Amino acid sequence: MDKIIIRGGAPLSGSVAASGAKNAALPLLAAAILAEGPVSYRRVPHLRDISTMMTLLAYQGAHVHFDDQSCLHIDTRPADKPEAPYELVKTMRASALVLGPMLARFGTARVSLPGGCAIGARPIDMHLKGLEAMGASIDVSQGDVIARAEHGLKGAHIMFDQVTVTGTENLMMAAVIADGETILDNAAREPEVVNLADSLRTLGADIEGDGSNRITIRGVNSIRAGDIEVIPDRIETATYLAAGIITGGDVTVTDTDPSQLEAFIARIRDAGVDVECGRDTIRCRATRRLSSVDIHTMPHPGFPTDLQAQFMALMTTAEGTSIICETIFENRFMHVQELARMGADISLDGNTAVVKGVPALSAAPVMATDLRASASLVLAGLAAEGETEISRVYHIDRGYERIEEKLQKLGADIERHSGSETWMRGVTFD
């Protein structure tokens, strides 16, 4: 298993380009199931989760391949197996995103029910209730969700009890070729949802209201072939900015979208970081020790839960005490014990972490437990004097494209040890 070794302590500087967003690309790939022709994607990140979604679509019979220009092409016309097996779903919960489009297209779908994961129970009950409201029958047998809608899905008015990102995306895709109008209320407003709606419109869908909490989808007869572009990864962007900040450096992320990171930018400005935003760039300079700032994670446009661990890493060496409240996932504090191994002073009370800033972190062997927790350990390692060894880095590979290469470009002393995984470069599933 790969390890990452970091010799920290040096300020990072320079610029690095954002990759395409994993959480935008995953539903966009699933949307190809709806299209009556090939769909081409630009800016798909080369990540383990993307490879899992490609494998899933190929399993269903689709033609899936990256060309020489890193453009991904998916043709689901030959697909004839509307299933997502346990072997794939257990490695990536977002596999459930194929449920809505498969059911809409085939009138039946079988998807293994995702279990809990490191950050919480994460049920998909709201996805299923929404599909039932659209006329589907849902059974659970042998760990699989079996959904049927032999006469097609029907438009419905769906009110989510809680904001759900992939739930909104799943039902939006299901509604695109359903009969009649679907209204999604208390819908997720995340930029990834807007990217999906924009892309589906490019392919001929009739959707409005995305970016607000009410999305209206009027069913159309079919969705055509087309070209799609994945938006920049806001979480990756903020992680590289945080790498500059935690080392007292000067880092610019290019090819990104500052408007998607307003809550993060506001909080780091409160902490004393000098932030300059251009049209598609963000530059952060940390010229003095950070001040402690409190955060509450919230659905977009609130502070993203996917940046909670990285922000906590920043607060470990800030002046004063920071209160970090996680309101989205009940168990997303696995990084706390690992950060403590590096000298952080953090106590937990339910969904709240109290972080007392210490003057410096110290290097230690630590273990990655989930994707964003791993990112916080990389940040801590970059700041700590000495050599930090992070094991189980496959978690990082799920969401950060060439992380050590990008950090090296900023001057970090970071390397990966052992079994290099080449599972993505040049992969073809034809």
Helix (H, G, I), strand (E, B) or coil at 325: strand
Residue (of 130, 96, 131, 91) closest to 111 by Cα position: 96
| Interacting residues with ligand EPU between 354 and 373 (CB under 6 A) | 371-372
Determine the interface stretch with ligand EPU among 147-155, 157-165, 310-318, 348-356 (rule: CB under 6 A).
Answer: 157-165
Q: Using the minimum distance from each CB to ligand EPU, give the nearer residue, 137 or 162.
A: 162
Q: What does the per-residue mask of binding to ligand EPU show for 309-348, with x meaning CB under 6 A?
A: -------------------xx-------------------
**Catalytic residue status for 277:** no
CA–CA separation, 364 vs 298, rounded Å?
Answer: 32
* Per-residue tokens: 413: 């002393």
- Does the protein bind ligand EPU through residue 260 (CB under 6 A)? no
CA–CA separation, 194 vs 24, rounded Å?
Answer: 9
Could you tell me which residues come within 8 angstroms of residue 149 by beta carbon, excluding any fewer than 6 positions away?
103, 104, 107, 108, 131, 134, 135, 136, 137
- C-alpha of 425 from chain center: 21
* Per-residue tokens: 94: 């977002």
What are the C-alpha distances in Å from 293 to residues 117, 162, 304, 354, 355? 29, 27, 15, 11, 10
How many residues of this chain bind ligand EPU (CB under 6 A)? Answer: 24
Among 396, 399, 404, 410, binds ligand EPU (CB under 6 A): 399
CB of 421 to ligand EPU, least distance (A): 19
Q: Using the minimum distance from each CB to ligand EPU, give the nearer residue, 167 or 258.
A: 167
Q: What does the per-residue mask of binding to ligand EPU show for 95-134, with x meaning CB under 6 A?
A: -------------------------xxxxxxxx-------
Contact 329, 351 (CB under 8 A): no
CB of 397 to ligand EPU, least distance (A): 13
- Does the protein bind ligand EPU through residue 307 (CB under 6 A)? no
Catalytic residue among 71, 117, 277, 325: 117
Contact 251, 240 (CB under 8 A): yes
Q: Using the minimum distance from each CB to ligand EPU, give the nearer residue, 58 or 165.
A: 165
Among 167, 232, 249, 258, binds ligand EPU (CB under 6 A): 167
Determine the interface stretch with ligand EPU among 8-16, 162-170, 242-250, 409-417 (rule: CB under 6 A).
Answer: 162-170
Q: Using the minimum distance from each CB to ligand EPU, give the nearer residue, 263 or 318.
A: 263
Reported as type and span, the H/E element at residue 338 is: helix 335-341
What is the b/e burial string over 6-38, where b = at least 16 CB atoms within 10 angstroms of the residue's CB? bbbbbbbeebbbbbbbbbbbbbbbbbbbbbeeb
Which residues are the active-site residues?
Answer: 117
Binding site for ligand EPU (CB under 6 A): 23, 26, 94, 120-127, 162, 164-167, 192, 305-306, 328-329, 371-372, 399
